[in-house]
Amino acid sequence: MEEHTLNNQSDSFQVEQYIFSKDWFSHNISNLELIFERFRPARILEIGSFEGRSTVFFIEKAKQHHENVELYCVDTWQGAREHAHIDMPSVEKCFVHNLERACKLFSNVTVTKHKGLSHQVMMELLLLMTIYGRLIR
């Protein structure tokens, strides 16, 4: 499992725009807005991050309710059959770019990128929670 943590404590910076080539997320927004309004999560586990479109949405929504936000993003960035025509290393680069930008736009956001299979990463995270009572980086 590869981990990469992005964190920003400051709001002064110059950033580029987000880069998204696909939108497999927007049809979920209305339902997710209801979830964020009702449960107001500050710590989020995302399985399948692709270019980070949903991750950016999660950051924006969580920051409406919390000063500090943590996201744990799990993906292989290898794709599946439906991604055979997509350059997955470029998708992963877009994810990193988009999350670096989001962490610059929103202070006190920590995003931990877990590169690996979801069931393996989830078991490792569960083990950390069991041993330490919290997720550690």
pLDDT tens-digit profile of 45-61?
A: 999 999 999 999 999 99
Residue appearing with tokens 């292989």: 76
What pLDDT is recorded for position 134?
Answer: 66
| Helical (H) or strand (E) element with 77 | none
8 Å CB contact between 116 and 4: no
What pLDDT is recorded for position 130?
Answer: 85
* DSSP state letters, 104-123: HHSTTEEEEEEES-HHHHHH
What pLDDT is recorded for position 12?
Answer: 35
Residues in the chain: 137
What pLDDT is recorded for position 7?
Answer: 54
What pLDDT is recorded for position 66?
Answer: 97
What pLDDT is recorded for position 13?
Answer: 36
Angle made by CA atoms 98, 114, 27, in degrees to the nearest 5: 50
pTM: 0.82
Q: CA–CA separation, 101 vs 96, rounded Å? A: 9
- The three-class DSSP label of residue 62 is helix
- The three-class DSSP label of residue 22 is coil
Residue appearing with tokens 């880069």: 19
What pLDDT is recorded for position 5?
Answer: 52
8 Å CB contact between 7 and 126: no
What pLDDT is recorded for position 11?
Answer: 38
The one-letter amino acid at 114: H
Sites in the chain below the pLDDT cut of 50: 1-3, 8-15
What pLDDT is recorded for position 3?
Answer: 46
